[in-house]
Structure 1
Amino acid sequence: MARRCELTGKGVQSGHLVSHSNRKTKRRFLPNLFHVTLQSDSLQRAVRLRVSAHALRSVEHRGGLDAFLAKASEEELSQGARELKREIAKKAAVAQ
């Protein structure tokens, strides 16, 4: 399983660990990922995703999973999140 956020695409970064003597060795910066269950209002069901803490705050700020996915671009979403976005868009089109 890739260490990548399913909603924002945030992944592993690399850099240097710098010692007191300024010696640089390679290190990895891992994203802060969680397995969360988010509720979709339009689909009336819960969805389990692996998201970063930053993405979880963004979902809450935008007003829920449906609003976040409506505004998110397709490139940064995972395949499962893209399918979820299409399902929500279909439900919204039928409701109108």
Structure 2
Amino acid sequence: MTALLDRAVSGHPDGNVGFLDHDEVYDGFGDPPRLLDPGAVADTAAALGRVQLDDLLSSLPASTADAAISCGFRGGFDGDVRVD
């Protein structure tokens, strides 16, 4: 699941996004933007559509703070990651 979400958010590292490399879109801090090609978008969307959210949420730690940490939020999340 982590790899699937990372792919959806991070895109392909070798994607051609030079047209996005300007100050209005990318200010030079952190990684430059990346894209998924159309086939990867379809594959990723289909895989995300098969995720059973209730199963995923039930696998989180019982503690709200630990659940947030397991989702990648370290000290900056206010609330419960299980709540809509």
Task: Specify if TM > 0.5.
Answer: no
- Is the strand fraction higher in 1 or 2? 1
Q: Which has the larger radius of gyration?
A: 1
Using CA pairs under 8 Å that are at least 6 residues apart, name the structure with larger relative contact order, 1 or 2. 1
- Is the helix fraction higher in 1 or 2? 2
TM-score by length of 2: 0.29
